[in-house]
């Protein structure tokens, strides 16, 4: 049974850049909002703690009554096909917005991979707020364009790369998050499971394992534990370059 605790406040930080990000594998900066704007935005919503990994944040087909901002943790969004298969659409990091909707309903489901803290804004209230605060509205537009560019890049990766290069691209992306990557040792601790990785890359767990073996054989990664990999980050970026 999932545990959800309502909290009074949390920092407002939204991840995004106006142009195409320069160096993959580095954390995107947060948008600049004035303290007063952050405070007003915070008063619109509530903070919810999802303490249990696997907690469902919203389901595909639900009414999209809220826009969600991830404060801490890691979330996967996924789409369930009619045959029951799951496609992981994205992994969301702190500062990401969740809740893509069509005709007022969510087009995917969202689950916490690790304990996660989320701001939940009523969609209608947020829309009215943005109309009255053009600078904050601009920030949300910048974030939307940032996410659109990331989705375009993912389409290229999925359409043109083999599985090993898809995996390399994911590892480079994960290395941009300091909570999971130690730049001094070069060790990445993957928070997501092999099933998550396979469903994100559009392949099987067995194929993911073979891809890790190939990267290991070519000296791009060193396996320490099942979810711990030492990365030769510079070479891995070159291998995964678009």
Q: What is the pLDDT of residues 100-146, one digit of tens each?
A: 788 989 999 999 999 999 999 999 999 999 999 888 888 888 888 88
pLDDT at 18: 63
**pLDDT class for 27, splitting at 50, 70, 90?**
low
Give, in order, the Cα–Cα distances in Å from 118 to each of 24, 92, 176, 179, 180. 25, 11, 21, 17, 19
Bigger pLDDT: 79 vs 101: 79
User: Is the pLDDT score of 19 beyond 80?
Assistant: no
Q: In what order do the strands lie in the sheet with 86-92?
A: 56-58, 109-112, 75-80, 86-92
φ/ψ of residue 68, rounded to 5: -115, 135
CB 109 within 8 A of CB 59: yes
pLDDT at 22: 53
pLDDT at 1: 41
pLDDT at 146: 81
What would the 3-class secondary structure string for 102-168 be?
A: ECCEECCEEEECCCEEEEEEEHHHHHHHHHHCHHHHHHHHHHHHHHHHHHHHHHHHHHHCCHHHHHH
**Spatial CA neighbour of 135 closest among 18, 33, 12:** 33
22-26, 61-65, 96-100, 126-130: least confident range? 22-26
pLDDT at 37: 85
Q: What is the pLDDT of residues 194-241, one digit of tens each?
A: 999 999 999 999 999 999 999 999 999 999 998 999 999 999 999 988
User: Is the pLDDT score of 9 beyond 80?
Assistant: no
What is the distance between the alpha carbons of residues 183 and 168, in angstroms, rounded to a whole number?
A: 17
> Residues for the chain: how many in total?
242
DSSP 3-state of 203: coil
Q: Give the N- to C-terminal CA distance of the chain in Å, as an integer.
A: 42
Please state the pTM of the whole predicted model. 0.87
The domains of the chain, with CATH numbers, are 4-159 (2.60.120.10), 161-239 (1.10.10.10)
H/E stretch holding 6: strand 4-7
Q: Look-up: residue for tokens 């092999």?
A: 194
């Amino acid at each position: 049974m999932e545990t959800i605790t309502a909290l009074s406040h949390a920092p407002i930080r939204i991840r995004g850049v106006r142009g195409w990000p320069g160096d993959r594998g580095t954390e995107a900066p947060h948008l600049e909002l004035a303290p007063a704007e952050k405070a007003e935005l915070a008063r619109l919503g509530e903070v919810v703690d999802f303490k249990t990994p696997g907690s469902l944040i919203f389901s595909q087909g639900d009414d999209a009554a809220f826009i969600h901002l991830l404060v801490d943790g890691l979330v996967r969004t996924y789409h369930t096909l009619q045959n029951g298969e799951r496609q992981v659409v994205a992994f969301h990091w702190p500062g990401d917005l969740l809740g893509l909707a069509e005709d007022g309903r969510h087009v995917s489901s969202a689950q916490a991979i690790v304990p996660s803290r989320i701001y939940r804004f009523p969609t209608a209230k947020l829309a009215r707020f943005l109309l009255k605060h053009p600078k904050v509205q601009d920030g949300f537009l910048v974030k939307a364009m940032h996410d659109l560019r990331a989705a375009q890049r993912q389409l290229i990766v999925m359409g043109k790369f083999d599985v090993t290069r898809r995996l390399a691209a994911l590892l480079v992306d994960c290395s941009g998050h300091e909570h999971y990557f130690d730049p001094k040792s070069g060790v990445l601790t993957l928070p997501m499971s092999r099933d998550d990785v396979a469903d994100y890359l559009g392949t099987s767990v067995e194929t993911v394992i073979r891809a890790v073996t190939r990267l290991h054989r070519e000296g791009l990664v060193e396996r320490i534990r099942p979810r711990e990999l030492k990365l030769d980050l510079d070479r891995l970026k070159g291998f995964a370059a678009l």
